Structure 1
Amino acid sequence: MKIINAKSVPTHIISGFLGAGKTTLLQYLLQQKPEHEVWAVLMNEFGQIGVDQQLLPQQQGFEIKELLGGCMCCSSQLPLHIALARLLSESKPDRLFIEPTGLGHPAQLMEQLTEPHWQSSLNMRALVTVVDGSRLHQTDWVKQNLYEDQIKAAEIVVISHVDVMTFEDDQALLQLQQEYEVYQQHWLKVAHGELELKQIDLAHVAHERKIQPLLIQQRQHSTEETTPEIKELPYHYVEHAQGYIVAGWKFPRRWVFNFEQLLDVLCDQHDWLRIKAIFNTNQGWMYFNCNPHQFNYKSGDENIDNRIEMISQHEHNWLKLETELLAARMET
């Protein structure tokens, strides 16, 4: 569908895990609309029955649309592109808010909306992730992979329900901020969703990230060839954020690794700031959360894949690390 829209619309992604308070925050933001402007909201419900749309303004000056069934971040991009193009061309909004489902991956959504196709139509603002501050003390809740992915994607982290946070929540928040310090995010605290638009109306700053085949596979390409960018497992990526280097690998869930050998590989690493990993091992699924002062690991639930991420201020011999990780894989 052709987009008939002469202006680049300021566009905010308001993400967050289930029940974090995204819609409450959105309600308060929408109250700040200037009288002469039209604001639009595109919401994504994972199920087939929309509820949240009824909680938002229905009067003139607001255009609220829902995209039902599945996740706009992960499924086919076509329904999203059609719904968004129609919303822009028909409503011609002065500002747009997009609220993905709590089960969504906002980084993937931002990647879609910053493609060349949208650059003349959307002025992407800083990606917002809402976190329920009253649940930060619940370790099982905050250690879910999707939860962590949403926080990592954020440029602005909004801590909601601060009026009912406990001492344990406050301590957990300090620890969470330390874990994500390298990403230089803005952290805001709100109660009852009361947040001023100007606090989040910041330009989106993209981090350089390229997902590529495993380094061992990349060696098979000649220097003249362009290394293909992929999305399937297994893959390797390196991204740069505020002077730090983040290198990561994801392997299929069915791959099983020798725990003792894997532990030796991780212990042999030097000059890093943080290592986080989840591996399917011969001793069960193991979760690693390490800094230079503490090397922690424990057993955990089955994950959707094997993954490891290392944060450093210096380049490493990533090929050597990858080779050692793959050598720890067991034949199954």
Structure 2
Amino acid sequence: MKILAQKTVKTHIISGFLGAGKTTLLQHLLQQKPEGEIWAILMNEFGQIGVDQQLLPQDSGYEVKELLGGCLCCAGQLPMQIALSRLIQEKQPDRLFIEPTGLGHPAQLLEQLTEPHWQSQIDMRALVTVVDGSRLHDEAFIQQDLFQDQLKAGQIVVVSHADSMNDADQQKLHHFKTDYLTSIQTWLLAEQGNIEISQLDVPHQGIQRKVVPLIQVQKQLPADAEFPVIKQLPYHYVETSNGYTVAGWKFSKRWKFDFYDLLDVLCEQKDWLRIKGIFNTNQGWMTFNFNPEDLNYKSGEESLDNRIEIIIQNTADSDHRDWESFETALLNCRIDQAEINQ
């Protein structure tokens, strides 16, 4: 008897802070289910009494499973693993939506579900983060670590309550789009969750960061030598995603730089989309946040290290970018006498 291979289930993680509008979005998406398909929903409530499940369709063709208590995003959540496996095996859905609690960290859940164990069962789609557009002007709200973690995890961001956004909200949204240029593929404005499933039906793309020694150190290694495993500062890294490349450097916080020399080096750069950095300088700790419209720098809090990232758009010439000259210019701004590899 021929055994048919099990189909992989298109799987969407719908994350977002408390009250962002995840369930409203999910309700709208579920209305788009083609006749004859089975769609499944795995929901997670942090408390012991589930409410959201009662707001979703109870009709034939929908399978809803709710996990109560705790957070399915946290590593080692065996109940989530069991519930998800049973849901897929028993119901064999055509599409699956996973809605973590608003207190969850979706990056951890995504990491679990992209492990080899799940690849024969799950066809992971781009992670969706829902944010309340009408609260973007609230600095205390958007500066919360959990809000930031959820936004960073998203590859598609659905901005809910778009019809209630004021000018300050719109301005903050513009800044977010610039800040997350390389990680977030798409921003969608939604009123009452009116997003089409086709807009979210995008494959998940993992971002690989290649962490390597400083370019100066690389040049000292034999041509056929493997790069050493980087376990401490300083180091250089490169990551590519969505048609952009991020080149970054991290140095020890003990290294000190001449502020004006550093500012000159940054201002001399060309063909970049974003420069962000924080440095220990002879003028104190300084942050740099450059975009083509605004070269902003100001005093900042002490950081764990000196760091800088430059974002460029990938072109035929981007592979030949002279990062060595930039690194050399950065290191020439140092005013302390520490050895490079200290």
TM-score where L is the length of structure 2: 0.71
Which residue matches 1:245? 245
Matched, 1:212 2:211: yes
d(CA) in 1 for partners of 2:261 and 2:200?
44
Shift of residue 161, structure 1, vs aligned partner: 0.4
Q: How far apart, in 2, do the equivalents of 1:66 and 1:302 lie?
A: 41
Deviations 1:202-242 (A, max 9, x none): 333x2542253654898598745476598x99875421134
Deviation at 1:160, TM superposition (A): 0.4
Aligned twin of 1:66: 67
Q: Kindly provide the CA deviation profile for residues 232-270 of structure 1, in whole angstroms up to 9, marking residues without a partner as x.
A: 99875421134421124578xxx7456764775465232
Partner-residue secondary structure (3-state), 1:191: coil
Residue 268 of structure 1 aligns with which residue?
265
Identity across the alignment (%)? 52
8 A Cα contact 2:72 2:109, kept in partner: no
Aligned-residue offset at 1:191: 1.6
Larger radius of gyration: 2
C-alpha distance in structure 2 between counterparts of 1:320 and 1:42, whole Å: 51
- Report the RMSD for the aligned CA atoms in angstroms: 4.4
Deviations 1:103-152 (A, max 9, x none): 55544543443333322211122322212110122244445565455445
Report the counterpart of residue 129 of structure 2 in structure 1.
129
- The 1:34/1:40 distance shift into structure 2, 3 A limit, reads same
Instruction: Give me the whole-angstrom Cα distance separating, in 2, the residues matched to 1:138 and 1:162.
Output: 15
For the residues of structure 1 that align with 2:17 and 2:234, how far apart are their CA atoms?
26
User: Is residue 17–residue 147 contact of structure 1 (8 Å, CA) maintained in 2?
Assistant: yes
Contact 1:155 1:186 in 2 (8 A): yes
Q: Distance in 1 between matches of 2:147 and 2:260?
A: 26
- SS for the counterpart of 1:66 is strand
Structure 1 gap segments, 5+ residues each: none
Contact 1:277 1:307 (C-alpha < 8 Å) held by counterparts: yes
Who is 2:100 aligned against? Answer: 100
The equivalent of 2:8 in structure 1 is 8
The whole-number CA distance in structure 2 between the counterparts of 1:213 and 1:67 is: 43
Aligned to 1:84, the other structure's residue is in SS state: helix
Structure 2 runs not aligned, ≥5 long = none
Q: How does 1:30-41 map to 2 (within 5 A)?
A: 30-34=30-34, 36-41=36-41
Q: 1:30 deviation in Å?
A: 2.4
Question: 2:33 corresponds to which letter in structure 1?
Answer: K
SS at match of 2:208: strand
Q: List aligned pairs for 1:1-332, cutoff 5 A.
A: 6-34=6-34, 36-45=36-45, 47=46, 49=48, 51=50, 53-57=52-56, 59=58, 61-66=62-67, 68-70=69-71, 72=73, 75-76=75-76, 80-143=80-143, 147-148=147-148, 150-181=150-181, 185-204=185-204, 206=205, 208-212=207-211, 215=214, 223-225=224-226, 237-248=237-248, 256=253, 261=258, 264-265=261-262, 267-269=264-266, 270-271=269-270, 272-277=272-277, 287-298=287-298, 308-313=308-313, 314=318, 315=321, 316-317=323-324, 320=328
Q: Distance in 2 between matches of 1:103 and 1:259?
A: 39
Against the structure 1 CA distance between its residues 213 and 52, is the aligned structure 2 distance closer, same or farther, given a 3 Å change threshold?
farther
CA deviation digits over 1:53-92, x for unaligned, max 9?
44543735322232742461x5347665444323322332
Aligned-partner Cα distance in 2 for 1:128–1:68: 23
Q: Equivalents in 2 of 1:241, 1:172: separation in Å?
A: 23
The answer as to whether partners of 1:216 and 1:323 remain within 8 angstroms in 2 is: no
Q: Report how many residues are paired.
A: 321
Answer yes or no: is the 8 Å Cα contact 1:5–1:92 preserved in 2.
Answer: no
Distance 1:304 1:42 in 2: 39
Which stretch of structure 1 is more off in the superposition, 272-281 or 150-159?
272-281
CA contact (8 A) 1:211 1:235 kept: no
Alpha-carbon distance between aligned partners in 2 of 1:227 and 1:78, rounded to the nearest angstrom: 36
1:58 to 1:322, Cα distance in 2 relative to 1, 3 A: farther
Rate the CA distance shift 1:323–1:84 in 2: closer, same or farther, 3 A: farther
Secondary structure of the residue that 2:168 maps to in structure 1? helix
